[in-house]
Copies of this chain bind each other. A is one copy, B any other.
Amino acid sequence: MITRRRALALGGVGAAGLAGAGAALISRGGSEAVTDAVAFTGPHQAGIVTPAQDRLHFVAFDVVTKDRERLVRTLREWTAAAARMTAGLDAGEIGAVDGMPEAPPDDTGEAIGLPASALTLTVGFGPTLFRDATGKDRFGIAGKLPAALEPLPRFTGDTLDEAISGGDIAIQACANDPQVAVHAIRNLARIGMGTVSVRWSQLGFGRTSSTATGQATPRNLFGFKDGTRNLKAEQEDLLREHLWVPDGDGPDWMTGGSYLVTRKIRMLIETWDRSSLAEQEAIVGRHKGTGAPLGAAGEFDEPDLTAVGADGTDLIPATAHVRLAHPDTNNGARMLRRGYNFVDGSDGLGRLDAGLFFIAFQRDPRTGFVPVQRSLAASDEMNEYVRHVSSGLFACPPGVTGGGWWGDRLFA
């Protein structure tokens, strides 16, 4: 096992040499860490089309400084730490173990010995980073606010809690080990102390969407497969059309980026659990076991929205989720989803506080999430069993390249 301490002792690799993303071959964990690290740099940020890892820690920060230079410094420090942690290294060059005794460690230590675990860290900027509630330009970047970052409309039935919605900067940590995802967010919060403050944070498990052709479709807490028709990493034409912001589409700094919508969707699972199998399947529009659309045999069969049963009614009801969310119902709208199930304990009313933390990336929410959610909010029979309690919207820039840092093109 090559730990950070031993790597230094082996000679030739000074602290400076470990600072960048190029050091991915020397890791905190065992030999498997070398192979389970996801590249941090590239044209797009990792954590979007990366095959969905099993665990999530998502955080939204408020920026508490008015000092642009301080914010930029934090973004630079975050980038260096993110490059290290995704490579399986400590957050800082000194670490928790080799620290100076009289200084706080520059890594908190709980991930010592754990491999990279496919950790990805994906950053996004919220509309409030650009202008405050009074419209004031906070950091001299208001002129670069993308039109696509227009706040989401209020949807029918929304019961949003502002305290766990929005945020100036969001970071999505995904990993195959929750301790690794938590460690990453906790260390970024530590590094950002005085610049940012945690606004809200969400843990998730049991990803609900497959993002690669080889991944089986997992199930959400309604017990149904979720993400069968999701965009896949291999569908390059579709990703170009629906996921990545093309050149000339809004401000330059977002070219190659994507827009992130999060919705915390509380599921009233106790009520759901009392509904019949037939009712559940009619609401979803799919069979619970196979995941096949009603009237079809295989999970990946195309839903036939025109099929009519023996009694002359639609096989897939007009109010079924699969119909209302279908691209044909929404002007071809498609998103890349990578949601996670959550249980946040209980709600004080004898019920589990559980549901889906919905995450979707798209080229433009105005033609992606918004029309689909309008359609669902208006007619989805599932609304009886869900409550949207949190909402987030963030512009995720393209990947870091060369000596770049998170937001370099925005703050350039």
Contacts and interface: CB of A to CB of B under 8 A. Distances in A.
Interface of A: 5, 55, 57, 59, 62, 64, 96-105, 107-113, 163-164, 177-179, 182, 185-186, 189-190, 193, 197-203, 205-206, 216, 218-224, 269-270, 273-278, 280-281, 288-289, 341, 343-346, 348, 350-354
A76 to B, nearest CB: 20
Given A288-B96, A346-B201, A278 B341 contact: no
A179 B105 contact: no
A191 B341 CA distance: 21
Nearest to A200: B346
A344 B343 contact: no
Contact of A223 (B62, B105, B177, B350): B105
A202 to B, nearest CB: 6
B223 A96 contact: yes
Contact of A100 (B111, B199, B224, B277): B277
A274 B104 contact: yes
Nearest to A290: B97
Contacts of A62: 350
Contacts of A281: 101
B206 A110 contact: yes
A104 B275 contact: yes
A110 B220 contact: yes
Contacts of A186: 221, 269, 273, 352, 354
